[in-house]
Amino acid sequence: MKKGLPLFVFLLSVTLSVVTAKAQSGSQLRFCLGAAPKTLNPLLVDDEASDTVRYLTGGVLMRLNRMTQQLEPELATSWKVSRNGDSISFTLRQNVRFSDGTPFSAEDVAYTMQRLMDPALHSPTGDAFRSSEGKIVTQAGGKDQITIVFPAPVVGLDKLFDQVAIMSAKSPQKEMAVLGPYYVAENKAGSYLLLNRNPNYWKHDAGGRQLPYIDSVRLDIQQNRDIEMLRLARGEIDFINTLSAENYDKLEAQAPKMAFDAGVGLDSEQIWFNQVPSSPLPAYKKAWFASTNFRRAISESINREDLARVVFRGHARPAVSWVSPANKFWFNTKLQPHPFDQKSALKLLSQEGFQMRNGALQDRDGHAVEFSVITNAGNKVRERMAAMIQQDLAGIGIRLNVVTLDFPSLIERITRSFNYEACLLGFVNDDLDPNGQMNAWLSSAENHAWNPNQKAPATAWEAQIDALMRTQASTSDAKKRKQAIDKVQEIVWQQEPFIYLVNKDAMSGVSTALRNVHPVVLRPQVYWNVEQLSIGAEGSRGR
């Protein structure tokens, strides 16, 4: 009996492992992508679908924990950023292999960074590191030590590595050999992708079991949000990463345990006016849009509370600036949303010579104030917002024409022909650090939406913003940066080049069968801890 006991325990533990493994083996996580990924090359990722694949397959040196918003070691066990922020040294994890068995070393990190920073590649991730011209230098100190030196200091250097999936320098599979929890096993273009577990994934749980728990991930390409909801209700998919307010309410009514609202997110919705001097607009309209009082008046004529309550069903709040309140460190808490005050708006307009005549607002030359706002068609939320703003502006005698366009036509108008008057769009913010939006705020930049590519700042306040953004980019002192960014927010609040409308909540729908789920505000809201998700009895569900 005594001799048999250890054997019995051994057999029991083996049996239990097998049973547990069987409970998970063949398990599949299923969710939908809104569009087919444009690329599977992690260095060229720019759309949400490709980013999803990169997140699930890419191994990174450090990962920003989406819940704690702190950097955690991944393929790098430790790292150090130099005092002036122009270099970073890593100690790499040992005995790690790519999905095809190729060993991981400092050479792969060097290779990845050299490719990423190649100016000819024009990688969006690479451009985030590029604070000036010049090449990077990689210094490998053995297989598991590497230092990367940049030509100039890079603000928030360490956090940027969350987006850099390490590629193999030697593998014949090139970018298909990965270090993340999954690898791409099948890609039916435009239909679905199947990701299988990486057999060589380095991460293990506390009990020594290799992660991920779920064996495979199926990503279906599904453009229709209503059908996606239906599939979630039927159990055909396991979660919806981003739910609209309408669908959130429906889900909450039907299955409250499946609906998650993580609170106000980082994204914003805003309107801006075309202030490009060479645009094909009549001169009097250019004068309107260039007037700060005009923009402030429009802003004060829009009822943001109603937008949040009616369009977003209470799952949004009036926006103040380009930094969301969810971004606790960078948000300027002294600023409040512009109040809905049409009397004040009319006062501002009268200062610019506008007057009400027979119920219609006219400028000093007698032109009736009428302009159009373009937005992307098929986006019901924006169409509703535009309709509400149309009614709000009618209250001060302004006629607003809502024009919905297909997205490529809209992009052409706002970036090439500048044949538009106002535009209603949203900004998707993945990055907590506002330095990521440098190219939106510099007056000389392409993405300076209301008046891009200025040879010299057209206004004093834009010159001020240029100076402040450059100041914050040139120092790693968080306090100084915060002061500069606060000031930029203040200027934007006063001048209203963007009329910020609302910040939406981050909402998701998750099947009750999915475990260890803790939806958060940062993307990817639901599957940020994908290797720890499981289906069935194990783990917990967070709220």
Partner 1 sequence: MQTRLSSLVRGVSKHAARLLIVLGLGGFLGATLVRLAPGYGVDEEELDSRLNQESIQALRQSHAREDSLPGFYVRYLIQLMKGDLGDSQTLHQPVRQLLAERFPETLKSVGIGLALAWTAGLTLAMAAVMARARAVDLAACLLASVLLCIPAAVMALLFVIAQAPGRLVLGLIVFPKIFHYSRNLLLRSASLPHVLTARAKGLGGFRVFLWHVLPVAAPQLLALAGVSASLAFAAAIPVEVLCDLPGIGQLAWQAALGRDLVLLVNLTMIVTLITLLANSAADLAANPRRAGEA
Partner 2 sequence: MKWVRLAAILFLVVVSVACLSADFVAPAPYARQFREVPDAAPSSQHLLGTDDLGRDRFSRLLYGTRVSLLLAPAAALLSSLLAAVIGGAAGFAGGWLETSVMAATDLFLSLPWLFLLITVRAFLPLNVSPIASVAITFALLGCLGWAAAARVICADARTLCGSDVIVLARACGIGGFRLLWRHVVPNLKPILYAQFWISIPVFILTEANLGILGLGVAEPLPSWGGMLRELESFSSFSAQPWLFVPLILLMVTVSCFHLALQNEEVWA
Q: What is the full DSSP assignment across 176-235?
A: GS--SSEEEEEEETTTEEEEEE-TT---B-TTSPBSPSS-EEEEEE---HHHHHHHHHHT
Output the smallest distance, CB 369 to partner 2, in A. 11
Nearer to partner 1, 11 or 35 (CB): 35
Output the smallest distance, CB 226 to partner 1, in A. 7
Output the smallest distance, CB 248 to partner 2, in A. 12
Q: Is the dihedral of CA 418, 422, 425, 429 positive or negative?
A: positive
Q: Which does 220 bind (CB under 5 to 8 A by kind): partner 1, partner 2, none?
A: partner 1
Nearer to partner 1, 36 or 136 (CB): 36
405: DSSP letter: E
Six token digits for residue 33: 């992508």
CA–CA separation, 220 and 32 (whole Å): 5
Nearer to partner 2, 323 or 424 (CB): 424
Nearer to partner 2, 27 or 242 (CB): 242
Output the smallest distance, CB 114 to partner 2, in A. 42
Output the smallest distance, CB 444 to partner 1, in A. 8
Nearer to partner 1, 287 or 405 (CB): 405
Q: Which does 38 bind (CB under 5 to 8 A by kind): partner 1, partner 2, none?
A: partner 1
Q: Which does 12 bind (CB under 5 to 8 A by kind): partner 1, partner 2, none?
A: none
Residues engaged in binding partner 1 (CB under 8 A): 35-36, 38-39, 46-47, 119, 122-125, 127-128, 130, 188-191, 220, 222-224, 226-227, 230, 406-413, 415-417, 436-440, 444-447
CA–CA separation, 362 and 54 (whole Å): 53
* Residue closest to 271 by CA, chosen among 192, 110, 389: 389
Q: Are strands 370-376 and 399-405 parallel, antiparallel or unpaired?
A: parallel
* Residue closest to 307 by CA, chosen among 423, 405, 424: 424
CA–CA separation, 67 and 506 (whole Å): 13
Six token digits for residue 212: 């991920």
Output the smallest distance, CB 362 to partner 2, in A. 16
Q: Which does 387 bind (CB under 5 to 8 A by kind): partner 2, partner 1, none?
A: partner 2
Q: What is the full DSSP assignment across 260-316?
A: EEEEEEEEEEEEEE---TTSSS-HHHHHHHH-HHHHHHHHHHS-HHHIIIIISTTSE
CA–CA separation, 90 and 304 (whole Å): 47
Output the smallest distance, CB 153 to partner 1, in A. 16
CA 486 to chain CA mean position, Å: 21
Q: Which does 437 bind (CB under 5 to 8 A by kind): partner 1, partner 2, none?
A: partner 1
Helix then strand count (H, E) for the chain reads: 16, 21
Q: Which does 372 bind (CB under 5 to 8 A by kind): partner 1, partner 2, none?
A: partner 2
Nearer to partner 1, 55 or 213 (CB): 55
Q: Which does 439 bind (CB under 5 to 8 A by kind): partner 1, partner 2, none?
A: partner 1
CB 397 within 8 A of CB 388: no
Output the smallest distance, CB 421 to partner 2, in A. 6
CA–CA separation, 188 and 215 (whole Å): 19
Six token digits for residue 489: 């927010």
Output the smallest distance, CB 391 to partner 2, in A. 5
Residue 3: how many CA atoms within 13 Å on its side-chain side? 0
Q: Which does 374 bind (CB under 5 to 8 A by kind): partner 2, partner 1, none?
A: partner 2
Residues engaged in binding partner 2 (CB under 8 A): 226-227, 229-230, 246, 250, 306, 309-311, 370-372, 374, 377-378, 383-384, 386-388, 390-391, 394, 401-406, 409, 419-421
